[in-house]
Amino acid sequence: MAQYAVLIYAPDSAHSPDATPEDLEDCNEHADELTDSGSMVMAYALTPRDMATSIRGLTITDGPFLDSKEVVAGFYVIEAPDLDAALAIARTNPVVHQGGGVEVRPVHSGGVIERTKETTG
């Protein structure tokens, strides 16, 4: 088994601070599916592009790093035996049929860092 990161590209993220449960229904349903199937390793939904702040060199700017039609709206990591299997899982993301898409990247290394009490304190 290998791990693949799935980056969700959409015109914007549905996860605004005041999003209603209905706004997030599609996303949550899909996340539940992947969790139930056992392929989901971790997942993060990001807030909309208006919340983003970018740093390039010494300059801080308001907004996403790349000025483009789509932004990274979230990302998750799945486990799959090979790229075909990973693509088959990734293409079930509803965003694919909602004007956005996903990018699948093999994970080199990493994961959630286990932290001791002092550092979280």
Residue 89, burial from CB neighbour count under 10 angstroms (0-12, 13-18, 19+): buried
Site residues for other proteins per CB under 8 A: 2, 81-84, 86-87, 106
User: In the complex, what is the shortest distance from the CB of residue 79 to other proteins, in angstroms, rounded to a whole number?
Assistant: 12
User: In the complex, what is the shortest distance from the CB of residue 102 to other proteins, in angstroms, rounded to a whole number?
Assistant: 13
Chain mean position to CA 101: 11
User: In the complex, what is the shortest distance from the CB of residue 1 to other proteins, in angstroms, rounded to a whole number?
Assistant: 10
Which is nearer to other proteins, 23 or 91 (by Cβ)? 91
Which is nearer to other proteins, 84 or 114 (by Cβ)? 84
Which is nearer to other proteins, 66 or 83 (by Cβ)? 83
Among the listed residues 102, 17, 8, 12, the one whose alpha carbon sits nearest the alpha carbon of residue 49: 12
User: In the complex, what is the shortest distance from the CB of residue 2 to other proteins, in angstroms, rounded to a whole number?
Assistant: 5
Which is nearer to other proteins, 69 or 91 (by Cβ)? 91
User: Which ranges of 1-121 does DSSP label H, i.e. alpha helix?
Assistant: 25-37, 83-90, 117-120
DSSP, collapsed to helix, strand or coil, labels residue 22 as coil
